Amino acid sequence: MSDNVKGALFALCGFAIFAVHDVLVRVVGGSFSPFQMLFFTSLLSFPLLTIVLVQDTTEGTMRPLHPWWVALRSLVMVGASICAFFAFATLPLAQVYAVLFMVPLLVTLMSIPLLGEKVGPHRAVAILVGLIGVIVVVQPGSAELSLGHLAAICAAFGAALQSVISRKIGNDERPIVMMLFPLLAIFVTMGTSLAFVYEPMALMDLVGMAGIAILGFIATFCLVAAYRKGEAAIVAPMQYSQILWATVFGSWLFNEHVTSPVLIGSGLVIISGLYIVAREAIGGQSSNKPVTRTRTRAFAPGGLRVSTLLKKRR
């Protein structure tokens, strides 16, 4: 079995685990606010994250070299996580994934002003096609448009911005800084909000939140293994397998049926994303590869950054 096949299989496994993670968010989110869920999942992520952080032997302090960028990234992570949890709790899974699939398109777009990269006409057209696909899914002006759709769109923008910021400062900042500050931001802001939104929890609810934290942690390390084994151009498109899991879990667990607009819009977004990945893959030695170098699912508690973990293990 080739390394690319192994990488693809690890990625498929990781995104399948993320799909189960999102199902748990949907189930638990039906009873609690995203603020309460994020507080407890981030709290339960601390022991897991500590295992990673204690292995950081790079010299330096915990003072960020780019404090304003780190602060912005942490705040964006907070907002994206809230929006993503709310979207998964209120919308059909397939609709949420269809909107979140535009993250690679937004990363390409944001890399122009923030990273100084160039986007040619081919990728510009792909971005436009992908955005049209999102419009088909969301159907603005329809009676079904809700806060959940707005939350999913905001989560996609937040995830893309967080990823671009990570690329901008990731080579300078210590891994412990990149991982710990977003988690602390989520923990502090969500803890403050508990005074207004807290609802008593049963033991099984707490178990569910622990499951969200553990599954996110395991899935992230599956992606680490995938990118260590396979080429980014092979691994990155595996994220689109989540639309299949959304169809299966949505129908089986929540009696959700994928509508024609969601299928058509998802197809447009996926085709545009795959085209951008293909363009980056055949770009030779060009550094203009914002999508294939963006490897993080940027709205899970803990803020584990795949590329940082890859760098730590080399």
Reported as a single tens digit per residue, the pLDDT across 113-134 is 888 877 778 888 888 998 899 9
Whether residue 285 has pLDDT greater than 50: no
CB atoms within 10 A of CB 239: 22
Output b/e per residue, 178-204; b: 16+ Cβ within 10 A.
bbbbbbebbbebbbebeeeeeeebeee
Q: What does each C-alpha distance from 139 to 99, 142, 240, 264 come to in angstroms?
A: 12, 6, 21, 12
Q: 85 CB contacts (<8 Å, ≥6 apart)?
A: 25, 29, 34, 37, 38, 299
For residues 166 and 66, what is the distance between their CA atoms, to the nearest angstrom?
11
**Candidate from 34-43, 70-79, 139-148, 211-220 with smallest mean pLDDT:** 139-148
Dihedral sign, CA of 102, 78, 209, 8? positive
Q: Provide the pLDDT for residue 286.
A: 46
Quick check: 270 and 120 in contact, CB under 8 A? Answer: no
Question: Mind listing the pLDDT tens digit for each residue in 174-201?
Answer: 777 887 888 888 889 999 999 899 999 9
For residues 217 and 205, what is the distance between their CA atoms, to the nearest angstrom?
19
Higher pLDDT, 199 or 235: 199
CB atoms within 10 A of CB 34: 24
Q: Provide the pLDDT for residue 59.
A: 67
Quick check: 220 and 52 in contact, CB under 8 A? Answer: no
Q: Provide the pLDDT for residue 24.
A: 92
Q: Which two tokens stand for residue 65?
A: 């070299």
Task: Give the 3-state secondary structure of residue 116.
Answer: coil
Q: Provide the pLDDT for residue 314.
A: 46
For residues 38 and 133, what is the distance between their CA atoms, to the nearest angstrom?
30
Per-residue pLDDT averaged across 100-122, rounded? 84
Per-residue pLDDT averaged across 39-68, rounded? 79
For residues 259 and 129, what is the distance between their CA atoms, to the nearest angstrom?
19
Q: Provide the pLDDT for residue 150.
A: 92
Question: Mind listing the pLDDT tens digit for each residue in 153-174?
Answer: 999 999 889 888 888 887 788 7
For residues 215 and 18, what is the distance between their CA atoms, to the nearest angstrom?
7
Residue 299 pLDDT level (bands cut at 50, 70, 90): low
Task: Give the 3-state secondary structure of residue 104.
Answer: helix
Quick check: 170 and 178 in contact, CB under 8 A? Answer: yes
Q: Provide the pLDDT for residue 302.
A: 45
Q: Provide the pLDDT for residue 109.
A: 87
By C-alpha distance, which of 169, 241, 203 is closest to 15? 241
Total length of the chain: 314
Alpha-carbon dihedral 261, 264, 269, 275, rounded to 10 degrees: -170
Q: Provide the pLDDT for residue 156.
A: 92
For residues 250 and 31, what is the distance between their CA atoms, to the nearest angstrom?
18
Q: Provide the pLDDT for residue 281.
A: 74
Per-residue pLDDT averaged across 94-108, rounded? 89
Q: Provide the pLDDT for residue 49.
A: 76
Per-residue pLDDT averaged across 257-262, rounded? 86
Per-residue pLDDT averaged across 17-35, rounded? 90
Whether residue 35 has pLDDT greater than 90: yes
**Region of residue 258 (phi > 0: left; psi between -120 and 50: alpha; otherwise: beta):** beta
For residues 188 and 177, what is the distance between their CA atoms, to the nearest angstrom?
16
For residues 218 and 242, what is the distance between their CA atoms, to the nearest angstrom?
16
